[in-house]
Amino acid sequence: MATTGAGLRERRRTVTEERVSEGDRQEEEGEKGGEKEQVEVVSKGVGWGGAFCCLMIARYYSAMYNNIHDCDEVFNYWEPLHYLLYKSGFQTWEYSSEFALRSYLYELLHAVFSGPSVLLSNKVQVFYTVRLALGLLSASTEATLVEAANQKFGARVGMYTLMLLCVSSGCFNASTSFLPSTFSMYAITLASALVLLGDRHKTVVAVAAAGVLIGWPFAALAAAPLVIYSLFGGGFLRVFLAGLLTTLCTMVLSVLTDRYFYGRWTSSVVNLVIYNVFSGEGSTLYGVEGPSFYILNAFNNFNFSFLFALMSPSLLYIASRDYNSLPRKPSREYTRLLVAISPLFIWLAFMSLQPHKEERFLYPVYPLICLAAAATIERLHDYLPESWEYHEHFSWITWGVKRARPLILGGILALSYCRTLSLYHGYSAPMQVYRYLPSMHAALSNTTAGTTVCVGSEWYRYPSSFFLPSSHYHVAWLDDGFAGLLPRPFDPTLGGTIAAPPYFNGKNKASPDQFLSDESLCDFLVELKLDRNDRTFRSNDETSWEPVYEQIFLDKELSPSRTRAFFLPWIWEKSNTFGIYRLLRRINKSAST
């Protein structure tokens, strides 16, 4: 047995030498060539084109079936875009010129590429056109990440990363969301991929700067390790100048855009940072969560792959064991991997310390969870004691762990798919219900005021004005006890985007006239009817309202978390409690469809 063990160790030594010989040779060439450190590894794995095609299919389904997960996406991004395209939509206090916290540059970029579709499509089709464009951008950046993983760590890591990106519920949700945090996700994904590929330091800094300034300024912390690595790894002055030029150009465009839309010289980027950092209460006015919020949320969206991602820093030690018996320096590939995925750990730690938490705040690092998990799963057997591989009684364990990797990945993907199905079947009703509004202007008695769609406590699930059939329709809020400040329609008489409406404030205090005072003016009603005795529903008045369309809606409060989180056929339907999301029409008004 000693001879056999020695033979196995010798063979492992030979394989290890072969594994690193090419990398070490090119590292030495890179050192001689200054900043060129890229390691060219021939791989038979899926290339950029194949990865992009797979990801684009996944992003197509995300664009078509992804829910809107946050009212902030609707009122701060879809509604201003609707105003730019159709001159109507809701305005929030952040878009008041008095506060100017949101950049119209981000909106303008989307309006430019979606503008032509307005001439060819109805509003719902324009909505999905924008989403498809977001999916295209997402697939492009993620395909670059897959290609980088494929080149640096082999076909298996590349394929695992691709599969996780395609199926993970978190990436499904984030990839086509119209949010600055999603735009920052595109930028950080691309920058991390370029760090892995090497010798693209100026591009890394430029991409990171654009992602932060056009997208979300606070994502600068997540991008910081990528920028620092590039600054000191690729010639400080040249890389710094590239980042500075990108920053200056982007800030000039942002300020000029804000000047045009807000009617005064201001910077929404600066205003947003000042409000959140120096204004006292800031975002905490909108709720606080405990430190475990993002851990639990990430596990819901990535299940066990998130745990594998958290293990990924140990890969640097695991990889170094391959070189202990060799007179060579450790490979730089896993060091570079640690840099590429470091935004995940920095961002997760920082955001967990903030009192105000929302799921979308973690979007910038979602694809990095997939990369980190894929790298860990690929080397899972190396976490076992090294001696087990040659031991007479334990070698089968190492063999089993290697063979179990596809099963582990398959289980993760199955759970991810079940999570996505649960979100769609449980919460997609609002986006479906509004599409059943009559496409023609209803011939109602109050034609001078148009057709009024009334919404009470469901205001925060309103899917945007893109789902209203025409300009004859408008939405009004009913008072169901909400004490916060609600969005109001852009008012051209006050100046449209340059207005500073007096009813807006930065303290989330309700405006006295934000609700419709006369409910008899409602032509349609959208309401979620739950099986509870503590509330009276307007739709109970069957003499005034008749249903047009209804859809089940998961009652989160009355459904166990263990059954509602993942869609398991039969169990999901039987174990959870559901309400009815309804579109109703007033009976005493003749509405033609």
User: Can you give the pLDDT at residue 394?
Assistant: 63
Phi, psi for 146 (deg, rounded to 5): -65, -45
Residue 37 has pLDDT above 70, yes or no: no
User: Can you give the pLDDT at residue 451?
Assistant: 92
> Which tops the pLDDT comparison, 40 or 560?
560
Kindly state the average pLDDT of the residues 236-258. 95
Kindly state the average pLDDT of the residues 21-50. 51
User: Can you give the pLDDT at residue 435?
Assistant: 92
Q: What is the Cα 97 distance to its own chain's centre?
A: 28
Residue 9 binned pLDDT confidence (cut-offs 50, 70, 90)? very low
Q: Per DSSP, what are the bridge partners of residue 524?
A: 453, 585
- ∠ CA 408-413-416, nearest 5°, is 130
Residue 255 has pLDDT above 80, yes or no: yes
Phi, psi for 513 (deg, rounded to 5): -110, 25
Residues 492-508 have pLDDT tens digits of 888 889 989 999 998 88
Percent of the chain with pLDDT over 70: 85
Residue 79 has pLDDT above 60, yes or no: yes
33-42, 306-315, 363-372, 452-461: segment of lowest average pLDDT: 33-42
Percent of the chain with pLDDT over 90: 65
What domains, with CATH codes, occur in the chain? 48-402 (no CATH), 429-478+516-586 (3.40.190)
Which one, of 37, 339, 335, lies nearest residue 199 by Cα?
37
Residue 591 has pLDDT above 90, yes or no: no
Q: Which residues of 544-568 are buried (b: 16+ CB within 10 A; e: fewer)?
A: bbeebbbbebbbeeebeeebbbbbe
Phi, psi for 452 (deg, rounded to 5): -105, 125
DSSP secondary structure letter of residue 362: G
Asked whether the beta carbons of 551 and 432 are under 8 A apart, the reply is yes
Residue 17 has pLDDT above 60, yes or no: no
User: Can you give the pLDDT at residue 282?
Assistant: 61
User: Can you give the pLDDT at residue 541?
Assistant: 85
- Residues with Cβ < 8 Å from 105, sequence gap 6 or more? 214, 253, 254, 257, 258
Residue 25 binned pLDDT confidence (cut-offs 50, 70, 90)? very low
Residue 32 has pLDDT above 60, yes or no: no
> Which tops the pLDDT comparison, 59 or 290?
59
Residue 231 has pLDDT above 90, yes or no: yes
Identify the residue whose tokens are 């395209």.
Answer: 85
- ∠ CA 161-167-169, nearest 5°, is 115
User: Can you give the pLDDT at residue 523?
Assistant: 94
User: Can you give the pLDDT at residue 315?
Assistant: 85
User: Can you give the pLDDT at residue 288?
Assistant: 85
Residue 27 binned pLDDT confidence (cut-offs 50, 70, 90)? very low
User: Can you give the pLDDT at residue 329?
Assistant: 45
- Residues with Cβ < 8 Å from 359, sequence gap 6 or more? 69, 70, 173, 297, 301
Residue 390 binned pLDDT confidence (cut-offs 50, 70, 90)? low
Residue 397 has pLDDT above 80, yes or no: no
Residue 168 binned pLDDT confidence (cut-offs 50, 70, 90)? very high
User: Can you give the pLDDT at residue 577?
Assistant: 94
> Cα–Cα distance between 88 and 488 in angstroms, integer?
11
20-24, 51-55, 64-68, 389-393: segment of lowest average pLDDT: 20-24
Kindly state the average pLDDT of the residues 459-463. 96
Q: Quick one: which H or E segment has residue 9?
A: helix 2-32
- ∠ CA 85-91-97, nearest 5°, is 100
Asked whether the beta carbons of 212 and 163 are under 8 A apart, the reply is no
185-189, 328-332, 463-467: segment of lowest average pLDDT: 328-332
Query: Packing angle between helix 293-302 and helix 333-353, nearest 10 degrees?
Result: 130
Q: Indicate the average pLDDT of the chain.
A: 86
User: Can you give the pLDDT at residue 281?
Assistant: 64
CB atoms within 10 A of CB 424: 16
β-pairing, 90-91 vs 488-489, is antiparallel
User: Can you give the pLDDT at residue 3?
Assistant: 39
Kindly state the average pLDDT of the residues 309-323. 81
> Cα–Cα distance between 580 and 509 in angstroms, integer?
30
